[in-house]
Amino acid sequence: MAKSNTLSFTVPDEIKLKLDAVTKIGHYDSLSEFLRDAIRSHLSQKPELRIAIAFELFKSKKISFGKASEIIGCSPKEVEHYFKEREI
């Protein structure tokens, strides 16, 4: 299993009310499970964000080129194209 980290953040009262309801309705076992799913869903719908994240992590030598390809969800050839566009 991947290493886990704990994050802490502040949310407006309206969002807090909704987050509190998440586990009470029984759709998710925990708030953490819901938040992980929400983040995955958001990233799956935002290809430009995935490209920007992968580029930043690769540029800062935190991930390999192959991992960048995995994050973006495309071939290494396409990753090369995306990264060349960003270097301009």
Whether 40 and 55 share a structural domain: no
Whether 66 and 35 share a structural domain: no
Structural domain span for residue 81: 47-87
- Number of domains the chain contains: 2
Whether 54 and 33 share a structural domain: no
Residue 8 lies in a domain: no
Whether 74 and 52 share a structural domain: yes
Residue 7 lies in a domain: no
* Structural contact between residues 20 and 26, judged by C-beta atoms closer than 8 angstroms: no
The string of DSSP codes covering 23-70 is: HHTTSSS-HHHHHHHHHHHHHHT-HHHHHHHHHHHHHTTSS-HHHHHH
Give, in order, the Cα–Cα distances in Å from 34 to each of 6, 10, 28, 49, 69.
Answer: 15, 17, 6, 20, 26
Whether 33 and 51 share a structural domain: no
pLDDT of residue 23: 85
Q: Express each pLDDT in 31-79 by its tens digit.
A: 999 999 999 999 999 999 999 999 999 999 999 999 999 999 999 999 9
9's tokens: 């953040």
